[in-house]
Amino acid sequence: MVDRTRTPRTPIPTAPTRSGLALDRCIEPVEAERFLDEYWETKPLLVPRDEEGRFLDLLSMAEVERRIADGGLRWPAFRVVKEGEKIVLSDYAEDIPWSPKPFTASARVERIADEFERGATIVLQALQLQHPALAEFCRDLEADLGHPVQANAYYTPASAQGFAVHHDTHDVFCLQVEGEKRWLVYPPVLELPLKHQKYVPELGEPGDPVLDVTMRAGDMLYLPRGWLHQAMTSDTASLHLTVGVNVFTWRDAMKEALDEAAREDVELRRGVPSDGRSPEGLLDALATRLAPDQVSSRRRRSFVKTRRPIREDAFDQLRALDELDLDTPVELRRSVIADLSEAENELRLSFEGRELILPAFLRDDLEFLLETDEPFSPSDLPGRLDDEGRLVLVRRLVREGLLRIRPG
């Protein structure tokens, strides 16, 4: 049965590393509280703007073309699609012989350009993993919403359509970057679908559109998962971003609670008898794990440990360590989402898939550097360390990527 004698870890409150930057940029002038109360997972939100360059720092048509023309892209970082036509990977990608293994599914620039000229859409996928501006933007949005975020780009020529009517299985913020695109949005035929529940016509045909709008540069459209939609260009090319939010659902919460219970309660690992009767109290071990604080804590742990590092300045930071002294300004990385917990006489600092085990007497220092919004120097650390100890701690946290040395 479950061992309830172990000392629980006590979460140490920390201030958020960011506050509303990316979410506000998407939904302004709608306030975040109103958005979450009225629109989130409920209904679409269209925010038209006359602000042509609002999202250009995230990506541009010129940058998409440069990335394709460089020839270094490999599937699945990109694909080419066209409504009503089957374009297979071999039509626009090839394996380049090399030793010891070939570069597989590499972009054939001339073929991609030809397909684009004939009306196909170029899709750049998972840009949060490979494009620094969107990596930072997605991380900001993750901090605002508490769920994993991804970003794809869709570059469509004039008078073209990439996809037929479909729904997404994640919530999306559609950001129109350049050009314009007409969107038709229909009510869902399957509300809040799970990842495997892709749209097929057997689920039901779209009804009358609830939105028929032409989005122009700077506009934003939020679609909860499940809302049917299609988009097409007119006489101008279009570049838009879909920033997807992969929500942690109650199904996920139940599964994680069940997996945790099964690891500790042998009764959940026994075979089911032919009559299907469960032992008395079998579900108690699961029920205790569905208390609000446990569900929230489990969701947060899962979220924090799966965030990938964003280290555009990794080499510069290692070189800067040579000059680190007690007065060097350092700061918490904006891209870091971290949790600090305590168990008996040790601290556990969790971020970006790692967990640092540190002595409990560093609590004041770690709370300080996680909570402060301003740059500080090693000499500012308020704990019991001497000056050499402060430098050792800061050096380690710079190497681990939690802190960064301020340029200059």
Name the pLDDT band for 222 (thresholds 50, 70, 90).
very high
* Residues 319, 274 share a domain: no
- Distance in angstroms (rounded) separating the CA atoms of residues 386 and 15: 26
How many structural domains is the chain composed of?
3
CATH of the domain at 207: 2.60.120.650
- Whether 4 has a pLDDT exceeding 50, the answer reads no
* Residues 232, 266 share a domain: no
Residue-number span of the structural domain to which 277 is assigned: 250-304
Would you state the structure tokens that stand for residue 283, as one six-digit string?
């579900």
pLDDT tens, 166-190? Answer: 999 999 999 999 999 999 999 999 9
CA distances in angstroms from 107 to 64, 66, 69, 85, listed in the order given: 13, 12, 9, 20
Side chain identity, residue 148: P
* Residues 266, 232 share a domain: no
In a domain, 333, yes or no: yes
- Distance in angstroms (rounded) separating the CA atoms of residues 90 and 77: 15
Q: What residues contact residue 332 under an 8 Å CB cut-off, 6+ apart? A: 17, 369, 370, 372, 402, 403
Would you state the structure tokens that stand for residue 342, as one six-digit string?
């305590």
* Residues 261, 204 share a domain: no
* Residues 390, 350 share a domain: yes
* Residues 375, 296 share a domain: no
* Residues 153, 62 share a domain: yes
Q: What residues contact residue 6 under an 8 Å CB cut-off, 6+ apart? A: none
Would you state the structure tokens that stand for residue 188, as one six-digit string?
């869902």
> What average pLDDT does range 230-244 have in this prediction?
93
Length of the chain (residues): 408
* Whether the Cβ atoms of residue 124 and residue 213 lie closer than 8 Å to each other: no
* Residues 288, 163 share a domain: no
* Residues 265, 224 share a domain: no
Name the pLDDT band for 99 (thresholds 50, 70, 90).
very high
Name the pLDDT band for 8 (thresholds 50, 70, 90).
very low
Name the pLDDT band for 302 (thresholds 50, 70, 90).
very high
CATH of the domain at 334: 3.90.930.40
* Residues 149, 58 share a domain: yes
Q: What is the pLDDT of residue 20?
A: 52
* Residues 264, 195 share a domain: no
Q: Residue 74 carries which DSSP code? A: B
